[in-house]
Amino acid sequence: MRFWDAIQRLHADGFSAFVEQSPHPTVGTTLEEGLRELAASGKDSVVVSSLRRDEDAHARLLESYGALHVAGCGVSWRALYPAGRVVSVPAYAWQRRRHWIEAKRRAEQRRPGVHPLLGAPTSVSTQRGATLWQTTLYRAEPAHLADHRVEDVVVLPAAAYIDVALAAAAHVYGAKPFVLEGLAIHEALVLDEAGCTVQTVMTEQPGAASLTISSFQGGSWRRHATLRARPSKAALAAATPVADLARRLEETTSVDAFYDRLAGEGLRYGAAYRGLVGLRLGRGEALGEIELPDGAGSSAEYAVHPALLDACLQVFLAALPASEVKGPMVPVAVKSVRRGGAIGNKAWSHARVASGERLEGDVRLLDEAGQMMLELKGLKVHRLEGLEQPETEWLLGVSWRQSSLDRASEAQGTKRWLVLADEGGVAEALGARLRAGGATVTLVPAASPDASAEGLARLVREGEVNGVVHLWSLDQPAAGETSASAVARAQERDVGGALHAVQAALRCGQRDVPRVWLVTRGAQAVEDGEEASPAAALLWGFGRTASTEHPELGCTRVDLGAGAARADLDAEAEALAAELRAEGREDEIAYRAGERFVARLVRPAPERTAIAKAVTLRPAASYLITGGLGGLGLAVAEWMVTRGARHLVLLGRSGAATPAQQEAVRRIESAGARVTIGTVDVASRAQLDAFFANVASGLPPLRGVVHAAGVLDDGLVAQQTLARFDRVMAPKALAAWHLHELTRDLPLDFFVLFSSAVSLIGSPGQANYAAANGFLDALAHHRKHRGLPALSVNWGPFSEVGLAAAESGRGARLEGRGLRNLRPQEGTDVLGRLLSSSSSAQVGIVPLDARQWIEFYPHLAGSPFWSDLIRAVKDGAVRPGREVRESLAGAPAGERRGIIERLVKSEIAQVLRSDAARIDVETPFRALGLDSLSGLELRNRLESKLGLSLPATLVWTYADVSALSRELYRLTQADGRAQDRSAPEPPERATRAASSNEDGDDQGDDAMRVKLAGLSEAEKAALLEETLAVLDQGTDG
């Protein structure tokens, strides 16, 4: 046998993988040694065996199969997994850096013996006699703080300031007696999950010391409390036997009733702050028996546990006349505080209202023998006004304002328009006006054979149109005549037409893609109380996402007034023609009674209402939650129980199928609620009808609906299909309409629609989800106009629960772009306040850092829709793209390519949230972790920075930093030819140029094969289509 000769010949012919098929390897080791000697030729080889003795055959075969796959051999996945479906898994943006988290959980970071609210002391080198304590406080850390709520907001109790001051003064004065004086609480300290730094500074002066307690929030320090401390030898008042006080205060009252009364005024104490176990009342005074609740934790590390002291101060509220307690009454000042003996877990609190004062008095903490443990003189309480809720900074909405059109910019010319024509006559009238100005207009009715995706793509491509105008939505019935069939028709015809029009524009092959105009009627509530058409509004959410994904489309939304008479068609056509000819920059426009309005994204002021009472739900009513067995639905259900609900109906397609769902239901039931689970597809009217007839009829009356159902099927507009739109819109839009019809005759207290921020601001890859949520927003306005309860909440993404949390990495990506995740408890807290106080039909709760978002999507810096938010960010937050062009123009020719390359690496690092210095210029973008969505984001960022119009497939045509930088350098050469050559070179020629070495060796064909191997079939098709279009342009020119 000439076995080795054969192996050498195979190796020379390029074979590098060898498989020994035998029950146990016999020649494999020898073969490996021989091949290693041949490795000097530069070609490594791999040798695997099919089976091994004493090993599981299936496992061994799979391991060998894997070794071949890693070595680069082709794998027949269909043969390996005949019953499965092979899908492409997105690449991950590996940063390839050591990331070992050393930090302990924050609860573990607190050192034993250190005051939980004060922290460890530090002397200040720059100020003699100053001592500083600093710590971080959270909504629930220390845990008892979460139970001190004012109007459902966690607020640091006034008792905590006293405790902190006592501990700080004891650090300075030791065992010597001292007195605290002049405590003033300037501003409530609201705590949240993110936490805030709290700093206490004590500065010693001759005979006294000053204390200031501050927090660092929003980039600056905020002062919350100030006071003085000084040594004092004054003795405390003599003991007062508790029995004597009890005999004098004969009237006893129920502690539970007292806490209920306080809750009604906005002081909703949790278990840790319900320390009253007995209460006696007299004229202008009260006596309370206090025990530190188990849930408050140990008192050992406190001077006086804040929960114990707060309960003592609650007794003062009991001493006040009931007529004086209006709203949440909180301490705002104390004239003096003196401490006697040690304070443990029990105390008696004796409170007296000062003579001649309504809201001021004294509080004494007594032990069982009546000895004074703590004395507060001159305690003053006040109604807490204007407590700043955390959502104040999260509010986001759309404001409409009048703005006339600048007709001086109107241009008559030989434009070519494709108009998706309505049947009501607007398209005909519009076409006549455009043709009169010299334009070419092609009308495509929805019933035309050319109305298909293929037909529109052909018309756009062959007609070389400059603009596409979508008018099909104008044939929607009026909002008052909307039906489920109209909603379905709007999804298929109107949204489908818009999707196909946008796809046709993107694939037209022209250097400048056509501008897209989406025209609706009555889709937006421009004026207060105006009715909106939910079906028409589908296009607005879609359009906002399309314009975010593809700013080159200039996608503009125009809303005409509802109920326009035929006599108004000429005026509407004239207004539309003027808009098209003017080619203005406005993103969103509306016409009402001849007046022109434009939209702006704004941070609206909170509604000015009386302090909201915490919402209370009826125990003898039922409440329905769709998506009720999802994480967000279950969080809402558990919150409802805390607000008094006792009958919950949770709808979901699969019921309580998982252990987590079953455990959550058990928790709700153990809290005293009855849970009815409906296995229902809420998009099916028949299933909903059956459920309401057979199940809901046996429950107490329905008084509230929360529609939280939804699914995601993300994909860029160019890759979307009507089927994917239907899958997303059915459980959101269609289900919402079914619920509206089924409940509009019921006396509901609320009808809440869980919408999303994407319908307000758009989100790349979520055009279908944005369209569905735009429907919910309009439905809320539709119901409100008709006198029905309605609230659509445009939530930002949630952590821990919800669709963003369910999709791996989505929440982190959004947070990296400036859209912070809401925590479930934050969401339910806000929901409670909205239900009790908001009169709006739609409220956006979006913790958005506008500066960071615009830096990630820099093309928004030129968007009129975003202009108000842009003005609100600091100067320099948005860097104009011309800076890069000016830098290139001023740089020596030999440095320009390096500037471009550094820019590309920097933008990739921004998109992938990685380090630019670690990006290799020859590594394919796929290997770096770019996918179709992040590739599009990179294209958009480069467009904005360079002021160029770049194709959507740019990063797959020039698929590494080196190749892309060379192409961008060619496009930006400042020799007067850049504008004439702004279309990229044919990919083959450009890639060869990018792959050539300095000696002129051309490896372009190999480079192209490598790049194509990393593309999906859809990306290959898009690349081929664009390449052919570019080649056609070159042939024609």
Residue linked to tokens 């943006």: 93
Residue 728: how many other CB atoms lie within 10 Å: 23
> In Å, what is the CA distance from 274 to each residue of 279, 312, 313, 536?
12, 10, 12, 52
> What is the H or E stretch that residue 596 is in?
strand 595-602
The rounded distance, in Å, linking the Cα atoms of 858 and 126 is: 44
b/e 110-132 (16+ beta carbons within 10 angstroms → b): beeeebbbbbebeeeeeeeebbb
Question: What single-letter amino acid sits at 1029?
Answer: A
Helix intervals (H) in 643-730? 659-670, 685-694, 722-729
The rounded distance, in Å, linking the Cα atoms of 351 and 379 is: 10
The rounded distance, in Å, linking the Cα atoms of 978 and 974 is: 6
- For residue 822, give the DSSP letter: B
* Catalytic member of 148, 470, 647, 782: 148
Question: What single-letter amino acid sits at 832?
Answer: G
Task: Tell me, yes or no, if 310 is annotated catalytic.
Answer: yes
> In Å, what is the CA distance from 769 to each residue of 254, 729, 764?
52, 7, 10
- Helix, strand, or coil (residue 8): helix
> In Å, what is the CA distance from 740 to each residue of 150, 565, 630, 685, 743?
34, 28, 21, 11, 5
> In Å, what is the CA distance from 242 to each residue of 238, 347, 367, 596, 845?
12, 10, 8, 75, 51
* Catalytic member of 147, 310, 367, 422: 310
- For residue 313, give the DSSP letter: H
Cβ pair 470, 495 in contact under 8 A:
no
Task: Tell me, yes or no, if 500 is annotated catalytic.
Answer: no
Question: What single-letter amino acid sits at 577?
Answer: A
767-785 vs 534-549: helix axis angle to the nearest 10?
150
- For residue 157, give the DSSP letter: -
The residues, any chain, with a CB within 8 Å of residue 484's CB and separated by 6 or more, are 685, 734, 737, 738, 741
- For residue 649, give the DSSP letter: E
> What is the H or E stretch that residue 185 is in?
strand 178-185
User: Max CA-CA distance within the chain?
Assistant: 118
Tokens of 199: 């700093």
> What is the H or E stretch that residue 560 is in?
strand 556-560
- Helix, strand, or coil (residue 490): helix
Which positions are annotated as active-site residues? 148, 310
